Chain A
Amino acid sequence: EVQLVESGGGLIQPGGSLRLSCAGSGFSVSSNYITWVRQAPGKGLEWVSFINLGGTTYYADSVQGRFTISRDDSKNTVYLQMNSLRVEDTALYYCARAGAVAGLPYWGQGTLVTVSS
């Protein structure tokens, strides 16, 4: 069974850093696109970043230069390093297995990031 489990969220002050983890099971993260999507409270879905099979990374303009996605194949885990956090980064962060023709068929349960002083 395919599962993705996010962790690492929490309360952080503006300007701080946080690293989210997305642990995959039932499949290999190195053989799939893995993407991060966030949802601010009461708002819609916003794409954040993805990493493809070859390890190439892509980012939304809103996080470019502040967030870094990476992958540890030995742990079957994808990470999202978030630096210079802003109040507007407050959201539930989901990771999802993605594909250009498959969409995002598998999602985790999300991890909440709250940026507040």
Chain B
Amino acid sequence: SYELSQPPSVSVSPGQTASISCFGDKLGDKYTFWYQQKPGQSPVLVMFQDNKRPSGIPERFSGSNSGNTATLTISGTQAMDEADYYCQVWDSNTVIFGRGTKLTVL
């Protein structure tokens, strides 16, 4: 079955750029989606179709996907961006999630 890999944690200083990666075989051939989840809250879609932001998601969030790697980039990271981030793809009528990356803003 298809698998997605993410680094368990990423740290960034406020105002700097955070990059969260997601790895999968020929991932660039699939649409990648990204979710943000804060403690005690439901996940929120922050990126769809690799690089499209849903309404209400700040412009500092951007995405890319090529080869075996999809990346969620947060420019000018703010304290409120501290959360768990999950990548997701569809594969053979199944929904695949990465294990998640904890973003710490310090």
Contacts and interface: CB of A to CB of B under 8 A. Distances in A.
Interface of A: 35, 37, 44-47, 50, 58, 60-61, 94, 98, 100-105, 107-110
A102 B86 contact: no
Interface residues of B, number: 24
B80 interface: no
Contacts of B43: 37, 45, 94, 104, 107
Interface of B: 1, 31, 33, 35, 37, 42-45, 48-49, 54, 84, 86, 88, 90, 93-100
B45 A94 contact: no
B33 A58 contact: no
Contacts of B1: 61
A46 B37 CA distance: 14
A103 B42 contact: no
A-B pairs, 10 with minimum CB distance? A103-B33, A47-B95, A107-B42, A44-B100, A103-B48, A45-B97, A105-B45, A58-B93, A44-B99, A103-B45
